[in-house]
């Protein structure tokens, strides 16, 4: 099956591009119904590229609602659009791996990351999520070996994995230092991953999680970066909503009721029928 993007901007493609802009604008306004309608329009396309894009966006909508099981089913369909090989197939598996990690199903997440690597051996995201899943499974040597594959092109990923290993080893203070290093490397190189997944949100979220576990005051700043990330957070719905919850809890502990209620209202409006836990918990 041809995995190339449409070669010319025909009228149908133009309409899909407009729908994608509506999708992104609606996500940033937390208007999930409008975003879902736009994604469904694109997913109904007979053109494989647009069908894949629309399916990935539908999965994103489900995750903004905390409905991970529905998202995983859609991601499975997205991964089949182009068959078993290629970057688009790999990204479907990579996203599923991330969802499974956030569900606490790390063995399944590792297998999906491995499937992504079989689909696209050059995918840095596949090695990254395989390393994170390995760290959370406690197979630290495997996580370190995978992180070494990431060091040359994008060293921030190696530091992020090092932080995940330290967090899994119950050393949140050292983990926070590693995540800060990852954030510094990411900012200095101004890099995003080759498949369009920005690294800022997961790095900030991991940093906030480690800071929360080590009772550091800067946890609020890290989660606020995720909540205010705008375009950067669109592809990270679970981390976005969990950051809203973390901010609500932090402000509540400070006795700042109005701020706590604001964040609580925002995440409650999104995760009305969620099958994911919302709380931020260290490994």
Residues 206 and 273 in one domain: yes
Q: Are residues 137 and 66 in the same domain?
A: no
Q: What is the Cα gyration radius of the chain?
A: 18
Domain boundary among 109, 131, 150: 150
Residue among 193, 140, 155, 3 at smallest CA distance from 132: 140
Q: Are residues 163 and 273 in the same domain?
A: yes
Query: Quick check: is 33 in a domain?
Result: yes
Are 118 and 187 contained in the same domain?
Answer: no
Is there a single domain that holds both residue 138 and residue 264? no
Report the residue count for the chain. 283
**Could you read off the pLDDT tens digit of each residue along the chain, which spans 283 residues?**
344 454 555 778 888 999 999 999 999 999 999 999 999 999 999 999 999 999 999 999 999 999 999 999 999 999 989 877 889 999 999 999 999 999 999 999 999 999 999 999 989 999 999 999 999 999 999 999 998 888 676 889 999 999 999 999 999 999 999 999 999 998 886 544 434 467 999 999 999 999 999 998 899 999 999 999 999 999 999 999 999 999 999 999 999 999 999 999 999 999 988 999 888 765 4
Residues 207 and 161 in one domain: yes
State the pLDDT at residue 233.
Answer: 94
**181 and 146 share a domain?**
no
CA angle (142 as vertex; 139, 148 as ends), nearest 5: 140
Question: Residue 4 has what pLDDT?
Answer: 46
Task: Look up the CATH number of the domain holding residue 159.
Answer: 1.25.40.10
| Same structural domain, 142 and 158 | no
Residues 135, 16 share a domain = no
In terms of domains, do 172 and 231 share one? yes
Residue numbers of the domain that contains 56 = 11-75
The CATH number of whichever domain residue 110 belongs to comes to: 1.25.40
Question: Global pTM?
Answer: 0.91
Instruction: Look at residues 93, 126, 150 and tell me which one is the last residue of a structural domain.
Output: 150
* Counted domains in the chain: 3
Give the chain's end-to-end CA distance (angstroms, integer).
41
Do 48 and 94 lie in one domain? The reply is: no
182 and 276 in a single domain? The answer is yes
Hey, what are 281's tokens?
A: 């918990």
Please, are residues 239 and 202 in contact by the beta-carbon 8 Å criterion? yes
Per DSSP, helices labelled H in 120-256 are 124-137, 140-150, 155-168, 172-189, 200-213, 219-227, 237-253
Of 55, 75, 95, which residue sits at a domain end? 75
The answer to whether residue 69 sits within a structural domain is yes
């Amino acid at each position: 099956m041809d995995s190339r993007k449409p070669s010319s901007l025909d009228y149908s493609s133009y309409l899909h591009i407009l729908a994608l802009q509506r999708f992104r604008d609606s996500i940033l306004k937390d208007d999930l119904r409008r975003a879902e309608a736009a994604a469904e329009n694109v997913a109904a396309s007979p053109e494989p590229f647009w069908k894949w894009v629309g399916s990935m966006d539908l999965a994103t909508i489900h995750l903004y609602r905390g409905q991970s099981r529905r998202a995983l089913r859609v991601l499975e369909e997205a991964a089949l659009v182009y068959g078993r090989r290629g970057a688009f197939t790999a990204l479907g598996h990579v996203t599923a791996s991330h969802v499974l990690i956030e569900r606490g199903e790390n063995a399944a997440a590792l297998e999906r990351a491995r499937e992504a690597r079989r689909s696209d051996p050059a995918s840095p995201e596949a090695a990254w999520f395989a390393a994170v899943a390995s760290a959370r499974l406690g197979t630290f040597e495997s996580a370190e070996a995978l992180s070494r594959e990431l060091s040359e092109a994008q060293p921030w990923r190696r530091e992020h994995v090092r932080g995940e290993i330290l967090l899994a080893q119950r050393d949140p203070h050292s983990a926070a230092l590693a995540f800060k290093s990852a954030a510094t490397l990411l900012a200095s190189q101004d890099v995003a991953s080759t498949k369009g997944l920005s690294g800022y949100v997961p790095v900030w979220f991991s940093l906030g999680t480690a800071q929360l576990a080590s009772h550091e005051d800067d946890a609020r700043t890290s989660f606020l970066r995720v909540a205010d990330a705008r375009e950067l957070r669109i592809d990270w719905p679970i981390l976005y909503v969990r950051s809203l919850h973390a901010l609500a809890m932090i402000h509540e502990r400070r006795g700042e009721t109005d701020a706590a209620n604001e964040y609580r209202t925002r995440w409650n409006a999104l995760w009305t029928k969620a099958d994911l836990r919302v709380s931020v918990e260290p490994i």
